[in-house]
Amino acid sequence: MNVSIVPALKVLRPAAMLVIVVLVGLVLGYWANATFVPGDSPEQPIAFSHKIHAGDNEIPCLYCHTQARRSPSAGVPAVSKCVGCHLEVATEKPQIRLLMGYWENREPIPWIKVHDVPDFVHFTHKRHVLANIECQTCHGPVETMDRIRVTSRAVDGSAQAGQPWKMGLCLSCHRENEVENGTDCWTCHK
């Protein structure tokens, strides 16, 4: 008896085509999403540029992120901090008009958090700022970024764009600088 698989293939062909089309669509969609809607660098409500502020005009990080030297969280400046300068500076630019809209409506700007550590991690900016650790050590070259992007540091010290922080980063730095009890789990975990 002759058995052929050709009739079976005839049925399978459209199904196989469908699978291929779906796979190609998924890959394309993933690529497009990663390229145009980057999760590590989301579009902020106001196109604030760290390049203009911290890079070109050399405003110190701690001028706006004042809480970094006295609290665990570095803090996002209040709208009043922005307005303090922008009542006078660059008032005609569209993004500044957007800012003044928030100011006049007395609303906070809904910034999207980019740099975050998991909830089981205890990190305090205060201790690190007071120890004169450069902000760029962990946050990467922020002063060159038009839109803020997650940037971690490889163990060899190079900046890694788009990578979240890992435990090895904390540990390698604590070991290099011989931090007191720096490798005790409860120094960073909670």
Partner 1 sequence: MSLFSRFLDGWRKYRKPGYYEKFDYHWTMTVDLDKCTGCEACMMACQAENNIPVVGEDEVARGRELQWIRVERYWEGEYPNARLRFMPMMCQHCDAAPCETVCPVSATYHNQDGLNTQIYNRCIGTRSCAVYCPYEVRYFNYYDHGWDSPLEQQLNPDVTVRGKGVMEKCTFCIQRIRQAKDLAKDDDRRRVQDGEMQPACVQTCPTKALVFGDRNDPESQVSLSMDDPRSYRVLDELNTDSSVFYLKKVDA
Q: Which is nearer to partner 1, 95 or 124 (CB)?
A: 124
Quick one: which of 88, 109, 85, 112 has its CA closest to 98? Answer: 109
Interface pick for partner 1 out of 13, 93, 97, 127 (rule CB under 8 A): 127
Question: Which window, 31-39, 54-62, 89-97, 123-131, contacts partner 1 (CB under 8 A)?
Answer: 123-131
Interface pick for partner 1 out of 88, 92, 119, 156 (rule CB under 8 A): 119
Query: Would you count residue 113 as binding partner 1 (CB under 8 A)?
Result: no
Is 155:167 a contact under the CB 8 Å cutoff?
A: no
Is 97:167 a contact under the CB 8 Å cutoff?
A: no
Query: Would you count residue 132 as binding partner 1 (CB under 8 A)?
Result: no
Which distant-in-sequence residues (6+ apart) come within 8 Å of 62 by Cβ?
68, 69, 129
Query: Would you count residue 174 as binding partner 1 (CB under 8 A)?
Result: no
Quick one: which of 159, 157, 127 has its CA closest to 142? Answer: 159
In sign, the C-alpha dihedral spanning 182, 186, 187, 190 is positive
Interface pick for partner 1 out of 10, 15, 36, 186 (rule CB under 8 A): 186
Q: Which residues are near partner 1 by CB under 8 A?
A: 118-120, 122, 124, 126-127, 175, 181, 184-186, 189-190
